[in-house]
């Protein structure tokens, strides 16, 4: 069963612009993670935010979490063509020992 749902499904921006992707989920979570996938390749873990955290930064990435709204956002600042990829949020609920992925946002950064 899908837990996270990303929005938008696809996003196209110019190099240098910021990209914001959103994730909504349905049940309580222990943590939420974001991953990147280049076309057909393995997913790469970007950042993990725990349920008691509200914001986290890693390089050009900024993640926020609002547990009252059951939503998270991923902001990529000053995007580059190399950021072109699909981005997935994944939730970990704790009781079922698994990470449940959304269907992803396809980000295209045009040079």
How many Å apart are CA 7 and CA 28, to the nearest integer?
A: 19
Handedness of CA 94, 96, 97, 103 (dihedral sign): negative
| Residue owning tokens 């939730």 | 91
Interface residue with other proteins, options 88, 105, 106, 109 (CB under 8 A): 88
51 touching other proteins, by CB under 8 A: no
- Residue 43 in contact with residue 35, Cβ under 8 Å? yes
How many Å apart are CA 101 and CA 95, to the nearest integer?
A: 16
Interface residue with other proteins, options 26, 54, 80, 103 (CB under 8 A): 103
Please identify, using beta-carbon distances, which residue of 26 and 78 lies nearer to other proteins. Answer: 26
Interface residue with other proteins, options 21, 23, 33, 79 (CB under 8 A): 33
Please identify, using beta-carbon distances, which residue of 33 and 71 lies nearer to other proteins. Answer: 33
Sites of contact with other proteins (CB under 8 A): 1-2, 30-31, 33, 35, 40-45, 48, 88, 92, 94, 97-104
């Amino acid at each position: 069963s899908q837990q996270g749902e990303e929005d938008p499904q696809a996003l196209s921006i110019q190099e240098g612009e910021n990209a914001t992707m959103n994730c909504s989920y349905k049940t309580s979570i222990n943590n939420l993670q974001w991953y990147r996938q280049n076309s057909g390749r393995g997913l790469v873990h970007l950042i993990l935010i725990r349920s008691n955290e509200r914001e986290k930064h890693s390089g050009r990435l900024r993640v926020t979490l609002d547990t009252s709204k059951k939503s998270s956002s991923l902001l990529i600042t000053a995007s580059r063509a190399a950021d072109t990829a699909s981005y997935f949020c994944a939730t970990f609920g704790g009781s079922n020992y698994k990470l449940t992925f959304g269907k992803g946002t396809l980000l295209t950064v045009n040079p």
